């Protein structure tokens, strides 16, 4: 017997946990389930993943004009930085960890020298473009982000906030509709099919 879906109250909430590549299909569906221009909250605990997955998620957020609040509850590193940077509001705790580093690529298949050379050329350009885009989305000078990327730095929540890239929050409960007198209802993202 199918249970009737409860009507969503407030912005959709979902989490980016683990490798972006492993979860890209579900994350894309969840983002597409938010109306263009709509609001959602994304909780981050991801070590990164494919730069292409990161570009896709970031592009969906930007192209659909989503008003996203990103909250780093654990780790937000490597490729996960791009969807986090695309968020309109970025929150970190004192214990949040973010790793900025140069892009890495790998192939699980045997490739010839010519193809490997082309991949290296392509990733060199992609890395430069993505690093500049990251600086633009965080609204800081490229040199500031570059100093973290090379040689690769772990940045804590306090340092992110001090640099003006996110708001520092403590671990107190976030104000909800219920705390403002509205009855509690299930808050989940509806998926479009």
Whether residue 73 contacts residue 97, with contact meaning beta carbons closer than 8 Å, is answered with no
Mean pLDDT rounded to a whole number for the chain:
83
Q: Residue 96: how many CA atoms within 13 Å on its side-chain side?
A: 30
Element housing 43 (H / E): strand 39-46
How far from 35 is each of 107, 137, 189, CA to CA, in Å?
A: 36, 22, 11
Q: In terms of Cα–Cα distance, which of 59, 79, 60, 160 is closest to 127?
A: 79
The yes-or-no verdict on residue 130 having pLDDT over 60 is yes
Q: What is the pLDDT of residues 7-31, one digit of tens each?
A: 667 789 999 999 999 989 999 999 9
pLDDT at 101: 84
- Unique residue bearing structure tokens 């940077």: 85
Percentage of the chain with pLDDT > 90? 53
pLDDT at 187: 39
Helix (H, G, I), strand (E, B) or coil at 56: helix
The yes-or-no verdict on residue 165 having pLDDT over 90 is yes
Q: Rg (Cα) of the chain, in Å, rounded? A: 18
Map out the domains of the chain with their CATH numbers: 12-173 (3.90.226.10)
Q: In terms of Cα–Cα distance, which of 45, 53, 41, 102 is closest to 76?
A: 45
Q: What is the pLDDT of residues 71-124, one digit of tens each?
A: 999 999 999 999 999 999 999 999 999 999 876 655 556 667 677 677 667 666
Helix-helix angle 51-63:20-32, to 10 degrees: 10
The yes-or-no verdict on residue 4 having pLDDT over 80 is no
Dig out the tokens for 57 from the structure: 């998620």
């Amino acid at each position: 017997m199918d249970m009737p879906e409860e009507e969503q109250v407030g912005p959709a909430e979902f989490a980016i946990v683990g490798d972006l590549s492993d979860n890209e299909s579900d994350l894309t569906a969840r983002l597409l389930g938010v109306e263009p221009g709509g609001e959602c909250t994304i909780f981050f605990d991801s070590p990164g993943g494919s730069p292409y997955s990161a570009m896709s998620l970031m592009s969906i957020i930007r192209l659909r004009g989503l008003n996203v609040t990103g909250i780093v509850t654990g780790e937000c590193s490597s490729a996960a930085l791009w969807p986090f940077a695309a968020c309109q509001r970025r929150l970190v705790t004192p214990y949040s960890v973010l790793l900025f580093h140069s892009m890495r690529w790998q192939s699980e298949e045997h490739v010839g020298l010519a193809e490997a050379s082309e991949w290296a050329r392509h990733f060199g350009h992609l890395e430069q473009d993505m690093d500049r885009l990251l600086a633009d989305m965080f609204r800081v000078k490229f040199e500031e982000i570059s100093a973290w990327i090379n040689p690769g730095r772990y940045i804590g929540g306090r340092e992110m906030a001090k640099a003006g890239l996110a708001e520092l929050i403590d671990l107190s409960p976030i104000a909800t509709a219920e705390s403002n007198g509205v009855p509690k209802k299930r808050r989940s993202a509806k998926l479009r099919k």
